[in-house]
A and B are shown apart, each in its own frame.
Chain A
Amino acid sequence: MPTTYVEAIREGIWEEMERDPDVFVIGEDIGVYGGAFKVTQGMLEHFGEKRVVDTPISESAIVGAAIGAGLMGLRPVAEMQFADFISCAFDQIVNFAAKCRYRWGAAVPIVVRAPSGGGIRGGPFHSQNPEAWFFHVPGLKVIEPATAYDAKGLIKAAIRDDDPVIFFEHKLLYRRIKEDLPAGDYTVPIGKAKVFREGRDLSIITYGAMVWTALEAAEKLSQEGVAAEIIDLRTLLPLDEETILESVKKTSKALVLHEDTLTGGIGGEIAARIMESLRVAGRACGSRRCAGHADSLQSAA
């Protein structure tokens, strides 16, 4: 019975809450309502009010409270209802969560989960890909799985990790992708990219929903006799340079693909690193401008 990407995340969080009584969830509409995307459905009834905390509409309070709980030894999993609202918690994340260990030797073992990405007619405030803002911040880890298997393994790893983790879940993938998952406990290592598809002629370096777009492109290319290799980053920070460079050394051609805007998207950094090491790189990414709300504009973007 295949498990969807969103169900995989739910299972992962549920298993960690069973495994460790210090793990709890906090966010808007996650308790009684079961979460905007139903990730926390059933948790309030099963784990109770102390471990499933509904909050007012204040992302800075959600993350601030999570940081406080983390400093006191708990392991909160905070939810941003949409990744677009994470900017309200930006100060808490970059000035506190990211820096407590460096400044005071104090661990902040929190996870901030956020549904990101477009293509679902959400408009400019429900479709963004904010990973670049956090990719920039030492002390944070930034993850974006592309498969149900990785989503479950990485949310579990993120919860067990002692650093603050920003966990982006591409909402287009929530119910559109599914696979059979192994029974039993497993984690996926943070900081390791994966060769999603092997090839010899081109390295497509990508993450999130674009992994599936790359797969479609690779299948078309194979009909023309071109074998594209797809590197699914899985973790954006710390970036797995070794896997990226190993692939590009093999193929000698790199295409960096992300849905985020071109200017300042993480593709620039990846291309620069490849250039520094190997001197061959190009980029492809999503809209250069924020999409308007109308369907026609979003299709065009």
Chain B
Amino acid sequence: MIPADYVPKHLWKEWEAKDPIVRLEHRMLAEGWATRQDLDAARARILREVDEAVAWAESSPYPDPATLLDNVYAPPKEL
């Protein structure tokens, strides 16, 4: 992985302030589209989902090479 230390530090600060996800959160709260609790609950749920997915992946065996071409196409069906 190429570290991004070639990026001038002040650019990180400048763009952090414009982070669209953070801006969307503020907008949602301001417009009453969601409460703080809604957003916190969503964040917690998603982090849990990601952690569970990682745990599942790391504890799963590597796929059988015979499955290499599975799911390239949909299973055939009657039209």
B71 pairs with A102, CB closer than 8 A:
yes
Interface residues on B, range: under 10
B73 pairs with A139, CB closer than 8 A:
yes
Task: Enumerate chain B residues within 8 angstroms of A160, measured Cβ to Cβ.
Answer: 79
B57: Cβ under 8 A from any A Cβ = no
Q: How would residues 63 to 79 of chain B score, 1 for a CB under 8 Å from any chain A CB and 0 otherwise?
A: 00000000111100101
Task: Enumerate chain B residues within 8 angstroms of A102, measured Cβ to Cβ.
Answer: 71-72
Of A109, A138, A156, the residue contacting B72 (CB under 8 A) is: A138
A187: Cβ under 8 A from any B Cβ = yes
Task: Please report which residues of chain A, range 106-133, place their CB below 8 angstroms from some CB of chain B when the two chains form the complex.
Answer: 107, 109
Of A107, A156, A157, A187, the residue contacting B74 (CB under 8 A) is: A107
Alpha-carbon separation in the docked complex, A141 to B73 (Å): 9
B79 pairs with A163, CB closer than 8 A:
no
Interface size on A, residues (CB 8 A): 15
Minimum CB–CB distance from A170 to chain B (whole Å) comes to 24
Task: Enumerate chain A residues within 8 angstroms of B74, measured Cβ to Cβ.
Answer: 101, 107, 109, 161-163
Q: How would residues 205 to 239 of chain A score, 1 for a CB under 8 Å from any chain B CB and 0 otherwise?
A: 00000000000000000000000000000000000
Minimum CB–CB distance from B48 to chain A (whole Å) comes to 20
A101 pairs with B79, CB closer than 8 A:
no
Interface centre among A101, A109, A156 (most CB of B within 10 A): A101
Task: Enumerate chain B residues within 8 angstroms of A163, measured Cβ to Cβ.
Answer: 73-74
Which residue of chain B is the closest to A190 with respect to CB atoms?
B79
A105 pairs with B71, CB closer than 8 A:
yes
Task: Enumerate chain A residues within 8 angstroms of B71, measured Cβ to Cβ.
Answer: 101-102, 105
A139 pairs with B72, CB closer than 8 A:
yes
Task: Enumerate chain B residues within 8 angstroms of A138, measured Cβ to Cβ.
Answer: 72
Minimum CB–CB distance from A218 to chain B (whole Å) comes to 32
Task: Please report which residues of chain B, range 39-79, place their CB below 8 angstroms from some CB of chain A when the two chains form the complex.
Answer: 71-74, 77, 79
Task: Please report which residues of chain A, range 133-162, place their CB below 8 angstroms from some CB of chain B when the two chains form the complex.
Answer: 138-139, 141, 156-157, 160-162
Which residue of chain B is the closest to A105 with respect to CB atoms?
B71
Alpha-carbon separation in the docked complex, A61 to B77 (Å): 30
A101 pairs with B72, CB closer than 8 A:
yes
Alpha-carbon separation in the docked complex, A156 to B73 (Å): 18
Minimum CB–CB distance from B57 to chain A (whole Å) comes to 13
Minimum CB–CB distance from A227 to chain B (whole Å) comes to 34
Task: Enumerate chain A residues within 8 angstroms of B73, measured Cβ to Cβ.
Answer: 101, 139, 141, 163
Task: Enumerate chain B residues within 8 angstroms of A156, measured Cβ to Cβ.
Answer: 79
Alpha-carbon separation in the docked complex, A105 to B71 (Å): 7
B77 pairs with A162, CB closer than 8 A:
yes
Alpha-carbon separation in the docked complex, A107 to B77 (Å): 14
Minimum CB–CB distance from B74 to chain A (whole Å) comes to 4
Minimum CB–CB distance from A122 to chain B (whole Å) comes to 33
Q: How would residues 78 to 117 of chain A score, 1 for a CB under 8 Å from any chain B CB and 0 otherwise?
A: 0000000000000000000000011001010100000000
Alpha-carbon separation in the docked complex, A160 to B72 (Å): 17
Task: Enumerate chain A residues within 8 angstroms of B72, measured Cβ to Cβ.
Answer: 101-102, 138-139
User: Known: A105-B71, A138-B72. Contact between A187 and B79, CB under 8 A?
Assistant: yes
Alpha-carbon separation in the docked complex, A162 to B78 (Å): 11
Q: B residues bordering A, Cβ < 8 Å?
A: 71-74, 77, 79
5 CB contacts below 8 A, A to B, read A101-B73, A102-B71, A109-B74, A139-B72, A162-B77
The 4 closest A-B pairs by CB, nearest first: A162-B74, A160-B79, A187-B79, A138-B72
